[in-house]
Amino acid sequence: MKRIEREKVVRNAYRSMILILTACCIFLGAVLVVHELAREYEVRKLEQRLEAKGVLKNDAGLFSSVQVFLPENIYVAEGVTIELYNSQISSLGERIADYNVKWTCAVGKNMQRKFSITGTKDLRGSYPLIFSVFDNNGAQVAKASTSLRIVPAIQDSFSVLTLGDSLSCDTATYERLNELTDGQIVYMGTRGVGGSLTEARRGFSAADYLSETGYDLEEPAEDVHPFYNPETGGFDWEYYKETTGFAPDMVELFLGTNGLDTDPSENGDNIIKIVQNIHKTDPRLPVYLVHTLYPASQDGIGSWNNKGYALYGDRYKYEEDRKVFDLMVYLEAALEEEKCLYFVPAGICHDSANNFNMEETPVNPHSELTMEVPTDAIHPGRAGYRQIADCLYSVVCGTKAQWRQ
Q: In the predicted model, is pLDDT for residue 16 greater than 70?
A: no
The answer on 294 and 237 residing in a single domain is yes
* Residues 346-385 pLDDT 10s: 999 999 999 999 999 999 999 999 999 999 999 999 999 9
Q: Within this chain, do residues 21 and 45 fall inside the same structural domain, yes or no?
A: yes
Q: Are residues 124 and 240 in the same domain?
A: no
Q: Quote the pLDDT of residue 313.
A: 82
205 lies in the same domain as 295:
yes
Strands 250-254 and 196-200: unpaired
Q: Which residue among 107, 122, 151 closes a domain?
A: 151
pLDDT digit string, tens, across residues 225-243: 999 999 999 999 999 999 9
Higher per-residue confidence, 35 vs 365: 365
Amino acid at 303: S
Cα–Cα distance, 245 to 214 (Å, whole number): 21
Predicted local distance difference test score (pLDDT) of residue 29? 60
CATH number reported for the structural domain that contains residue 251 in this entry: 3.40.50.1110
Query: Is 114 in the same domain as 172?
Result: no
| Domain termination site, one of 125, 151, 177 | 151
**pLDDT by residue (tens digit) across 135-150?**
999 999 999 999 999 9
pLDDT at 205: 98
User: Are residues 94 and 183 located together in one domain of the fold?
Assistant: no
| pLDDT of res. 330 | 97
User: Does residue 64 belong to any structural domain of this protein?
Assistant: no
Write the pLDDT tens digit of every residue in 245-274: 999 999 999 999 999 999 999 999 999 999
Q: How confident is the model at residue 314 (pLDDT cuts 50, 70, 90)?
A: confident
Nearest to 84 by CA among 304, 389, 348, 369: 348
The model carries a pTM of 0.84
Choose among 393, 390, 349, 342: nearest CA to 154: 393
pLDDT greater than 50 at residue 116: yes
| 359 and 385 share one domain | yes
Q: Is residue 79 scored above 90 in pLDDT?
A: yes
Residues 389 and 294 both lie in one domain:
yes
- Interval 187-211: pLDDT, tens: 999 999 988 999 999 999 999 999 9
The total of structural domains in the chain comes to 3
Domain of 84, CATH number, reads: 2.60.40.10
How far apart CA 232 and CA 39 sit, in angstroms, is 47
pLDDT at 217 over 90: yes
Last-in-domain residue among 151, 175, 191: 151
For residues 306 and 227, state if they share a domain.
yes
Same domain for 330 and 255: yes
Q: Does 79 share its domain with 198?
A: no
Instruction: Report residue 175's pLDDT band, with 50, 70 and 90 as the boundaries.
Output: very high
CB crowding 322-344: b at 16 or more within 10 Å, else e = bbbbbbbbbbbebbeebebbbbb
Instruction: Say yes or no: 251 and 108 in one domain.
Output: no
Indicate whether 107 belongs to any domain.
Answer: yes
Which domain does 91 fall in, by range? Answer: 73-151
Beta bridge partner(s), residue 109: 116
